[in-house]
Amino acid sequence: KSIHQKEREKLDKLKDELEKNTRAEEKSNEKIAEDKRAVTRAQEDLATNDNDQKDATAAITLQQAEVTRARAGNADVYKAANKSLEEQQDAKKKLQVRAEDLHKKIDGWNNEIATEGRNVAAARQAQAQNTDAITKQKLLIKDLETKLKAVR
């Protein structure tokens, strides 16, 4: 292979690297957007969950009063009221666990967003370096072509 061909191959390789870095940046940007949408949905779910917990707390308070009233009366009514109270408390606990899970997921997505942000910065830096190297390589090839024409 001639020097000219080798230099053209180097240029093609640099262009391929630039394309690879561009795709990496696009992929990271897509992941960031996806994670931001997930965080938004989770925050909306958390708001709903918070309202549900408040409703559950109010229902538990009412049911506790019912259990207190039933304690003095029929044993079956008391058992039923107490069972209902326990079910409501379990339901609230599930809401709390769900909220914790959402917070953990949000933290995970935020970590991914930060990581992908760093990946975007690295890809942009690599693109800038590739672009500079491509420019230099094109100048080198042009210089070689000029010298080859002078020799012929």
Q: What is the pTM of this model?
A: 0.79
Q: What is the pLDDT of residues 62-79, one digit of tens each?
A: 999 999 999 888 899 999
What single letter denotes the amino acid at residue 1? Answer: K
The residue to which tokens 């989770």 are assigned: 42
% residues pLDDT > 90 (the chain):
88
pLDDT for the residue 138? 95
pLDDT for the residue 108? 98
For residue 52, what are the CA distances in angstroms to 87, 92, 102, 145? Answer: 15, 8, 15, 74
Tokens of 52: 């549900």
Q: How confident is residue 22, by pLDDT bands cut at 50, 70 and 90?
A: very high
Q: Where are the alpha helices (DSSP H) in the chain?
A: 3-71, 75-151
Q: Quote the DSSP letter at residue 73.
A: S
Q: Quote the DSSP letter at residue 30.
A: H
